[in-house]
Each structure stands twice: as C-alpha cells, then as structure tokens.
Structure 1
Amino acid sequence: MDDRTLATDAQPGESATIAGWLHETRDLGGIAFLILRDRSGKIQVKLEKDEMDDAMVETGLDAHRESVLQVSGAVEDEERAPTGVEVVPESIEVVAAADPELPLDPSGKVDAGLDTRLDNRTLDVRKPAVKAVFEIRSAALAGVRASFRDLDCTEITTPKIVATGTEGGTELFPVSYFAQEAYMNQSPQLFKQLMIGSGLERVFEIGPIFRAEEHNTPRHLNEATSIDFESAFADASDAMDACETIVRGAYEAVAETCEAELETLGLAEDFTVPEAGFPRITYEEALDRINATGAVDETLEWGDDLSTPAEEALGEDVGEHYFITDWPSEIKPFYIKDRDDDATVSTGFDMMHPRLELVSGGQREHRFDHLVEGFEQQGLDPEAFDYYTQMFRYGMPPHAGWGLGAERLVMTMLDLDNIREAVLFPRDRQRLSP
C-alpha cells in the first residue's frame, strides 16, 4: 500500500510520489512553494502558475495547513530548497483536508500551554521537538530490550488486573470484574518472582503499572511504564550491576541512533552515556551527606524517608547516577530480604539520578516462613496472597531484582521539566482523556 517515496529519499532525475502533511505554503506571485512533511523530514514542491494546470495549482494553494497531500512529479536539484531538491508536480491530491483553524501550531512557531498540547496530542507530536522525544523514547526502550537479551533474560507479560495489590490495599484502582472486585496492578513484582520459581531464572517486563496516588507534581503519574528485572541466584549487588547495564544500554542506544533527534532538542553536544561504576552509598551515609548540605529544614534520622528536597540536595552533592543501599527494613516492602547480620537493615536499594529516584530494588525474601513474617509485620494478611506465598514452599531460589520508571528515565535523560512530556497520553488526577 505504501509505495510512496519518503521526502529525504527523493533523488534528482527520478519521478516520485510524496505523501505527507502540508507544513507550509509560500505564495510569491507567479511562483509558489508547498512544503510537505512526512516521517523522514520535509520536501519542497514548486508551483509555476503560468506553466502548470490551473486546477492542480488551485488544489495545492487552496489546501489548508496540516492537510494530507499526495504529490507526484519529477524530482529536480534545487540548492535553496530544505533538502537540496524539489518536486515539480504532475498531480496534487488532497487526501485528507484539515480545518483552517487549528487548536495549536504544529510548526512550533506559536507556543501552546501543556494542557492544550495534551488535549491535542496528535497535533502536538507533529512538532519536531515533541516527535524527537518519542523517537528517543522508542530507541531507549529498544536499547533496554537489547541489553536484557545480552543478560540472557526472558521477556514476560504479567496480568494488569489482579485480586490483590503488590503492597496491600493502598493506592489501588478498583475495577468491576464480573461478580467481584479486582484492581489494576501496581507492579509485576509478585508475578515476576513467581516466574523465578518456575525455572526461567532471569526475566524482564516492560509494561504499564497503576498507582492511585493523589499526587499532582511534575514527576508523578497514575499510569506509568515500568521496566522490571528479576534474576534467580542473585543478590542486591548483582541486581545493581544489571540495573547499571540497562540504564547505560538505553543511553548508548540513543547516542548511536538518535543524533538528529538530539540535535532537534539542542542536546547533541552535551548528551553523554553515564560512566560505568555508579557510586553506591549507604542510607546512613546518604543521611549524613544530606544533613551536611543544610538543605532540609529538620535533621534527618534513621528511619526517615527522603523528601524531594532531600533527594535534590543529595543528587547535587553526588552529581551523577548513584545507588542508595542498606535501607531500614521498616520502610521497605515485605518482599525485601533483611540482611543476615542485622535484621533492622534491608538489602533494598534505590538507583538515583541527581534529579530524582529512578529505580527501587533489592534481594527478595525467598524463605517461606520469613516471607509470611514480613507480611504480618507490615499489617498485611498472608492468606490474601496465598497464590504467591504457597509457591515459596516448592523450591524458590534466592533472587533479586528491581523496577525502573521508563518515563522518569526519559525525563532525566532529556532534562524534561515535566514527566508528562515523556508519555503520549498521560493519566493523572485531572486527565482521563484523550
């Protein structure tokens, strides 16, 4: 069906059929130019009014901006054209007309607020800078998948409608599931652990997660994309090694394949792949370094979670991707294993960008009795999770893993101001459509 020539593939001396959006019309009197845009770029169409069919010229000049046109004709050299060539048309067809009044300017010459852009996301993504973000996101996820394959991982897909939440009944979106109540899954955590017990040993998933958090910040979403990893016969250190590999793989893929997109965003000169060997600092050291900055109002003590100002202060102090290890057991989920030498300290870790947290992970508790104790200590009913806990009676190996927010990865990679810039159709407290 798609037998057209892409704009950047058109070669002088050939006949070509170009199809795309009418980006701009320039009428100079006896001559006019149409600028067509497709996924590859732009190409100029020359209309010499006195030498061409009047009806064809009228069709081209009457078309409104962003209409879809199909143009067939000879390709000729023209050094003043955007790509060094232009099409001299033999036919012009309006495939799909656009209204004369657009809700936003896809050329980007006139700014629009974020709400207007998200309300009209289809038009918004036609802007080169916005399109570049999603081309880069795609490349980053391709790099993530390639890196997982290098780590000998099996890609899995787990349920998004579940009977219980990953961490109990909080922050869950209930849904009507025939005659019973179900929930949108917060994480593939429990299911990926079950797959470790299946013998797959190393698994990953890239898929949606849902959190009913009442945040309304530039860094939170209620539907996000989670990049998850789990490996048998691994500890927290092994999991951190894999995490670093995946993050660097995403950056490498973007650096190798997205030069034009980085140029569009003005990032080409400064974009670098993070150096190997992300620093690993303990939670206790993190508290000391944050307190030393004086950036938080109250002195942080053991057991405190890190607020946004605390994370930002520590990130500025460290200045690169880094891990925080050895978190207090009491503030980590029930499935995180405690250290053998000190039950008050967990094997949990977070991986941080200087701006914010990207990853949460750790070694998992693989011993049935200890796992049930963890449920009870956090006020959860183990019987509600029988489908999960019972599998730990049948030979569950030691294992570790993590979850990485894809939107946060892209947001920090491209220094975006708002996480909604990194997702096509955001879901937050105010936005359920489009």
Structure 2
Amino acid sequence: MQRILVQDLPQHVGERVTLMGWLHWRRDLGGIQFVLLRDRSGVVQVVLPGGGKLPLQESSIRVTGTVVESDKAPGGLEVHAEGLEVLSPATAPTPVEIPKEEWRANPETLLEYRYVTLRGEKARAPLQVQAALVRGFRKYLDAAGFTEVYTPKIVQAGAEGGTNLFPVEYFEQRAYLAQSPQLYKQILVGVYERVYEVAPVWRAEEHATSRHLNEYLSLDVEMGFIESHEEVMRLETELIRAMLEEARASAERALRLLGVELPPVPKEIPVLEHQEARRIVKEELGIGVGTDLNDEAERALGAYVRERYGTDWVFVHRYPESVRPFYTHPDPERPGLTRSFDLLFRGLEVTSGGQRIHRYEDLVESLQRHGLDPQAFRGYLEVFKYGMPPHGGFAIGAERLTQKLLGLPNVRYARAFPRDRHRLAP
C-alpha cells in the first residue's frame, strides 16, 4: 500500500492508509495503546490494540489502519491501526524528551544533542521558514534577470583585509576560509551584470553572544549599471517583501506552530542618514554612541523607528569612510561619507551593502588609504582595468533575519548545526 503523509490524512477519512515516520510519543493503557507518529509533514495519533510491547520513542515505524475523525485527537483525526511495524528501533532513550522539547530552555543541552533534538517540531520549524525565505530569495532574483554563481570558499586573502579570518593549510601555502564572496561577485558583475550567491561564510570573531555565529549563511547580491546605492536599496526592499511572501505561502504550518505572523514590509522603508541616526540615539534617546552604531544603539534606534514610523524596518545610509570596507564608493557630494547602507530589522543589522568603487585608480588609492597593500589584491584589481560598470550590492545574514522574524532567543537556533566561539560539534 502506498505511503500517505500526515498532512494528507484529511483527504482519506474512512480509508485504509499506510504511514511511516517516528514514534514521537507513546502511552500504554493495557487494553489499548496510543502512539503519536511524526513524519516530515506533521504528527497524528495512532490507536493500537493493547498487549504488544511498544518500542522506544524515536524508533522508525510503519503503521497501517483506517483514518477516523476524533474530537479528542490532535488535529481532529486519528488512525485505528491493526499493528505497528518497527523499521529501525531506537536502542536508548533520547537525551532530551522530544515531545517536551522547548527551545527556550536549556540551550546548551539542546545544542549539544542537536542531532536528535532537531527532530522536535519547534526546533525544525525555524529551518523550514528559513528554507522558504531562501527559496523566495532565489525566485525573485531569477525573475529579475540575476544569475546564481558559486565562488571559492578557500581564498588567498580576505575581502575586507586581514582581520577575522580562519587560516587553512593549503598544501605549501597559507590560505583562509572566505569571510565574504564580495570580491568575486564584483568580478562576476563584469560577466553577467547581475549575480547572487547562497553560501556559507566564516568570521573569526571572538563574540559569544545570542546574535553571533562564526559560520553563517550569506545571501549575496550584486548588480551592475546602477546610478547610486539608493537603487540597490529599492531592489532589496522588493526582494525582502518577496522572501516574506514565499515564507507565508510555503511555510504556513511552521509559522503557525511557532505562533508567528510575519511583519509587513512597507512600500518604502524609512531611510535615515548615519549622522542623523547617531544624533537621534545620542540626543533624543540619551544613549552614548561612538563613530558607528553599537548593539545598544541599534536596538534603541529600532524601537524609535517602530514608534515614529510604525515599522520594524529602517535603512541607515551614508556611513563614514572610516567604518566601511575599502571597496565602498565615496559620496562625491558628501566628503568623508560613503554610498553605503545597513538594513536594520527590529533593532538588529541584517544587511550591509552599498555602491562599490568601479575605477582601477580609485580602488588602488582606497586600498592605500585603508592601510592595505594593493599587491595583496592584485588578482582582484586586474578586472577593474577592463571597463567595470558602476555597481553595488548587499549581503543578508540568513540566520539573523530568521532569528528576528521568528523571535528566537538565540541565532544558533536558526542554524541546523551552529558553529560559534566554543562549538565544533555535532
């Protein structure tokens, strides 16, 4: 008999079906036994005749029985089965009881046994939402004439100089894990005009906070023949909207399970100049701030924008040259400032982007001004001798966006197997 998924059971009431999945929960009342079977689409109650020995929870099982309506069963349906077949038995109790798993408690235990705790419905739901967001990212950009590219993850030099890099022994040479595909995606603008990439990146940062990972999924975009960074910001606004629409449509069950309603994206996201954002934080909110916005300043600014503009989204643009990478295009009308931006969502930076320098001589000068050796970027610089168009782009941190959209207490819950300052396993 062909297997049926839990999500499809409402179409088979009164019919005999076969289900396969995991033994999520069990209860033996002697004359009758109750089992919750979990598959990739959901959970259903199975009623079995008593007398048999039930396997341990998380055993892989198969049951065949009749679908009946029941007000007392989760979801209003249950399966009355003749028996239960064990496909692969669990040989030990799980270190965390999956049905009682709650990702807001005992985070270190949940992460230490991630290989099994990830099976919990609330644990896997954020990753289903994230997959939908990435799917929306790809679908929108494909339709907008972008080409997906795949850049090296073992590199000779960092995209932002020599900081925050993980060294790698590469035969007789020293190499590094890529901290960004930035330099390569710029090169590929000269090939395809519009490119994007979905891939991991690595940052050797000492942070051990609820918002930092040392390996994360970066959603990168770069586009050529632009007028300014504001054109890139407009594209990102539409892209974010499309990503959330895809998540609403294809991850509805996961969102419902988490009790989350995704926020709207305004037609035009509010835009603040960096200097004005600093002034608001310092003078109106009374919070100390340095040259750049720190974590506390971003949170305070997010709350301010929420109250003032009625949205969780805000662009902060025209950052000073001193706090942006060497490839950031200076603002010709505002000396000392750049055509750059960050997108803040609920008080957290989820995107960094801007217009890039596209002339060879200007790049060499910028490298020197940032204290970097142009020779170390020789391979990257060469392409700018051959007519690179004005271009710009951005990168979205997939886990940070997922964390803030879903209200997760820690960004590590937005990655299947997180890598942070202290974690290399599982």
What TM-score range do you get, normalising by the shorter chain?
A: over 0.9
Alignment correspondent of 2:161? 168
CA displacement, residues 265-310 of structure 1 (integer Å, 9 cap, x when unaligned): 1224xx332222011111111111111234424x65xxx0111111
Q: Which amino acid aligns with 1:252?
A: E
* Pairing partner for 2:420 from 399, 408, 428: 428
Q: Which has the larger radius of gyration?
A: 1
Q: Which amino acid aligns with 1:389?
A: L
When residues 78 and 400 of structure 1 are mapped into structure 2, their CA distance, relative to the original with a 3 A threshold, is same
Alignment correspondent of 2:37? 36
Distance 1:110 1:414 in 2: 15
Alignment correspondent of 2:347? 355
Alignment correspondent of 2:297? 310
Alignment correspondent of 1:321? 313
Partner SS, residue 410 of structure 1: helix
1:201 aligns with 2:193: yes
Q: Tell me if structure 1 keeps the 8 A contact 2:34–2:45.
A: yes
Alpha-carbon shift at residue 384 of structure 1 (Å): 1.1
Alignment correspondent of 1:53? none
| RMSD across aligned positions (CA) | 1.8
Alpha-carbon shift at residue 323 of structure 1 (Å): 0.9
Distance 1:374 1:3 in 2: 64
When residues 236 and 110 of structure 1 are mapped into structure 2, their CA distance, relative to the original with a 3 A threshold, is closer
Q: Which amino acid aligns with 1:349?
A: F
Q: Which amino acid aligns with 1:286?
A: A
Q: Tell me if structure 2 keeps the 8 A contact 1:355–1:412.
A: no
Alignment correspondent of 1:21? 22
Q: Which amino acid aligns with 1:331?
A: V
Distance 1:16 1:34 in 2: 16
Partner SS, residue 338 of structure 1: coil
1:261 aligns with 2:262: no
Alignment correspondent of 1:415? 407
Distance 2:31 2:232 in 1: 67
Distance 1:400 1:308 in 2: 26
What pairs up with 1:209-248 in 2 under 5 angstroms? 209-234=201-226, 235-248=228-241
Q: Which amino acid aligns with 2:5?
A: L
Alpha-carbon shift at residue 331 of structure 1 (Å): 1.7
Alpha-carbon shift at residue 13 of structure 1 (Å): 3.5
Partner SS, residue 310 of structure 1: helix
Alignment correspondent of 1:275? 266
Q: Tell me if structure 2 keeps the 8 A contact 1:166–1:190.
A: yes
CA displacement, residues 18-49 of structure 1 (integer Å, 9 cap, x when unaligned): 11111222222322222211112222322234
The TM-score with structure 2 as length reference comes to: 0.93
Distance 1:210 1:91 in 2: 49
Distance 1:13 1:315 in 2: 53
More deviation, 368-377/352-361: 352-361
* Pairing partner for 1:344 from 328, 336, 339: 336
Partner SS, residue 371 of structure 1: helix
Q: Tell me if structure 1 keeps the 8 A contact 2:211–2:400.
A: yes
Distance 1:344 1:249 in 2: 35
Alignment correspondent of 1:5? 4
Distance 1:294 1:82 in 2: 48
* Pairing partner for 1:390 from 382, 386, 404: 382
Distance 1:116 1:7 in 2: 29
Q: Which amino acid aligns with 1:316?
A: A
Q: Which amino acid aligns with 1:281?
A: L
Q: Which amino acid aligns with 1:81?
A: A
Q: Tell me if structure 2 keeps the 8 A contact 1:144–1:250.
A: yes
Q: Tell me if structure 1 keeps the 8 A contact 2:49–2:82.
A: no
